[in-house]
Amino acid sequence: MIKKLSTKIILILISIVILICFLLINSSINNDRHNYLKSLLSDDQKYFIKKYIFPYKMVSQQQELISQQQELISQQKEMLNKTKQVFTILELDTKEKGLDIQIKESDLKLSNDLILNKYKLISGFYSGINSKFPGSGYLDFYEDNIFILSARGIIAFRKGLNNDEENFKQIKNNINDFIGLNQFKKYQYKQGSWFSLKDLLIFNGKIFISYTEEINDDCWNTSIIYGDLNYKNIKFTKLFSPKKCIHIVNNIDNEFNAHQSGGRIIPFDDKNILLSVGDYRSRYLAQDKESLNGKIIKINIEKSDFKIISMGHRNPQGLYYDKEKNIILETEHGPKGGDEINIIDADKINEDEIQNFGWPISSAGEHYGERNEYNQKKYDKYPLYKSHNDHGYIEPLKSFVPSIGISEIHKIGESKYVVSSLRDKSIYFFELNNKKQLINLNRIEVFERIRDLGFKDDKLYLFMEDTASIGVLDIK
């Protein structure tokens, strides 16, 4: 009996000693004051004790490391967003102070011995649409002046572009009553921003500006403001604002992209302008006649009423009304591949049937991610057939595969036209023959994304957003 009790006591004592040793060792592993005890164990032995004897210690340390990494990522994201907002705030500050927009002139030699004169906007245009810096913009003409609009609401003008000694003069305006810092800083995409001003048109003594409007909280569509043009202070009011909008989260396809907003505005006749509206990646709306998305719309500037003239568009970026041929040339971004140039027959505008260009049923491009198991449901709903005509839609005049990031289009001669690109950083000259077929396509690289085009006095004007510059090309 005594022997059994003695054995039991010995075992208990040994267990206590082992436990104390383990506690001491475990404590010493992470305690700089016990370097001697640490030195008695190899790294493998320390790791073994932590992992198998005291695993809670290792788990706790790993959880702390993960928490630190998550905090670091959060801080980096916050810093990135603040960096993006700095350029927007800087541009809005320049606007508020009414400072001149300074320029610097240089030349760039292109192919075919063409020389592009560049006028870089070295102040004011700080915040971009695609990139956080420098600024994106648009241009138009009135009388002898060239006007520029930044993506954040700066309007400025100067007489011609003969030298860089004269600055652009700002015109005070109230654009930021309609879209301002609260909208610009929302949901910044990659380097740039989803929400911005989309185009500038000066017509019949009035100035029209399209923009992405937050119609309800986090619910957006493309709208127009306008005002009487003067050189001191322009007071804008709403001309056109859709009643329906696309919510960033609560939408049928669970996808949203405000870069697919369209926004191009051009004159049609004395009483009407045309506006392009994108699908915001709610693809089904392009085939919904009750929706304004994925459409080209004719808007009466006296009554503000409107009519859909074409549908089945993804993200219309360029419009030009050729009065002589009575056609409207439209360009649009396809999905992955399949940028298009389309011809809208102006003779059919007064007919009841809306001209349909097939998106998202037909397209030369593919959904992002292309055809795989993950995308099968998307292809079931939006098949992207390669023929438009076979499915009752109008074939494009031209499809670009791969995409060029097509942007604005303009007429420069009797049957000669030019179209610009963002992604491809080029301009494309082409002609239309008697059958309205595209011929003689000729690419000229200009090495920058081109957001907008203008044409005046045999000169082609480009807004180049990689350097926030105005390019001028003599094409006589």
pLDDT at 29: 47
CATH 2.120.10.30 for domain 104-474: yes
Is the CB of residue 398 less than 8 Å from the CB of residue 438?
yes
| 251 CB-near residues (< 8 Å, 6+ apart) | 282
pLDDT digits (tens, 9 = 90+) for 67-96: 766 665 555 555 555 555 899 999 999 999
pLDDT digits (tens, 9 = 90+) for 139-193: 999 999 999 999 999 999 999 888 777 999 999 999 999 999 999 988 655 556 8
H or E element: which one contains 469? strand 469-474
Is the CB of residue 253 less than 8 Å from the CB of residue 282?
yes
Closest CA to 450 of 416, 415, 423: 423
Give me the residue spans of the domains in the chain. Answer: 2-53, 104-474
Mean pLDDT of the chain: 89
The one-digit pLDDT tens for each residue of the chain (476 residues) are 555 556 666 666 665 555 555 555 555 545 554 555 556 566 666 666 666 665 656 566 666 777 766 665 555 555 555 555 899 999 999 999 999 999 999 999 999 889 999 999 999 999 999 998 999 999 999 999 999 999 999 999 999 888 777 999 999 999 999 999 999 988 655 556 899 999 999 999 999 999 999 999 999 999 999 999 999 999 999 999 999 999 999 999 999 999 999 999 999 999 999 999 999 999 999 999 999 999 999 999 999 999 999 999 999 999 999 999 999 999 999 999 999 999 999 999 988 789 999 999 999 999 999 898 889 999 999 999 999 999 999 999 999 999 999 999 999 999 999 999 999 999 999 999 999 999 999 999 999 999 999 999 999 999 999 999 999 999 98
Closest CA to 358 of 328, 334, 329, 324: 334
Give the gyration radius of the chain's Cα atoms: 31
